[in-house]
Amino acid sequence: MIDSKSKAISIIRAEHRVLGAVINNIKTMLLEVQAQRMKMDFSLFWAMVYYIDAFPDRLHHPKEDDWLFSRLKQRTQLANSLIDTLQRQHLDEPAALAAIRRDLGNFEAGVPGSLAVLQATIATYADFIWKHLRAEENELLPLAEAHLLASDWDDIAHAFAQNADPLVGSADSEIFDALFHDIVKRTPAPLGLGAA
Ligand SMILES: [Fe+2]
Ligand SMILES: [Fe+2]
């Protein structure tokens, strides 16, 4: 049977991969639109922006804050400044997403030059989020592995498993799962499963 530590870490990494994939697809599809190889599908883009906004904010970050970070703070002081930085970044997310929504709306309205502005905003956001995910995986998780107790990992795995397990999943996690599959189906191949 898989131990709680491996289970928790693999769910956290899998959630990071899903977020990274959606952000990467947004970037790549905008390049295709810019090169006029792809027609802009605004409803798909709004769905992807909703996903990268709501999934971390409602499911992923709260579980890091409430379980992983808070438990690690109880066990060691060594991660405190890193946790402060990561939590500030969690709080900065809504403003970054508001900028993306504004620029996507301007592009949809046909504002001149707005595609380039949207691409720049997405690139800045992608850098920001990749730094965040890398710091969590390369700096925070090793500290957690060194300092958390087996019982901490049981609790953390339990909290994160509720995102991943459809049987115990919350209404939120089912909605995000369905939304992600819908995005993949509508994203043109080879990035997704939709018509190229
Ligand atoms: Fe995070
Ligand atoms: Fe994370």
How many angstroms is it from 195 CA to the middle of ligand 2?
A: 32
Give the rounded distance of the alpha carbon of 45 from its chain centre.
15
Q: What percent of the chain has pLDDT over 90?
A: 77
- Expressed in angstroms and rounded, the spacing between residue 35 Cα and the centre of ligand 1 is 33
Ligand nearest to the CA of 163: 2
Domain locations along the chain: 4-186
47 burial level (CB within 10 Å; 0-12, 13-18, 19+): middle
Ligand 1 center from residue 161 Cα (angstroms): 16
Centre of ligand 2 from the C-alpha of residue 88, in Å: 13
Whose CA is closest to 42, among 93, 97, 118?
Answer: 118
Look at residue 83 and tell me whether its pLDDT is greater than 80: yes
From the CA of 11, the nearest ligand is 2
User: How far away, in angstroms, is 61 Cα from ligand 2 center?
Assistant: 6
The owner of tokens 């946790």 is 83
Q: Specify the length of the chain in residues.
A: 196
Q: How many CA atoms lie within 13 A of 162 on its CB side?
A: 14
Amino acid at the residue 39 = K
Residue 118, Cβ density class (10 Å: 0-12 exposed, 13-18 middle, ≥19 buried): buried
Distance 184 CA to ligand 1 centre (A): 23
Is-contact 129 44, C-beta < 8 A? no
CA distances 65 to 41, 45, 86, 192, Å, are 35, 28, 9, 32
Tell me the CATH number for domain 4-186.
1.20.120.520
Phi, psi of 148 (to 5 degrees): -80, 150
Q: Which ligand is nearest to the CA of 83?
A: 1
Written as one letter, the residue type at 127 is D
Eight-state DSSP code of residue 1: -
**In angstroms, what is the span from residue 132 Cα to ligand 2's centroid?**
7
Residue predicted with more confidence, 2 or 63: 63
pLDDT digits (tens, 9 = 90+) for 26-67: 999 999 999 999 999 999 999 999 999 988 888 899 999 999
Contact present, 148 and 75 (Cβ < 8 Å): yes
> How close is the Cα of 108 to the center of ligand 2, in Å?
31
Could you tell me if residue 2 is left (phi over 0), alpha (psi between -120 and 50 degrees) or otherwise beta? beta
pLDDT in tens, 130-180: 999 999 999 999 999 999 999 999 999 999 988 655 544 566 677 777 878
**Which of the ligands is closest to the CA of residue 82?**
1
Ligand nearest to the CA of 19: 2
Question: Which ligand gives the minimal distance to the CA of 141?
Answer: 2
Question: Distance between CA 51 and CA 14 in Å, rounded?
Answer: 15
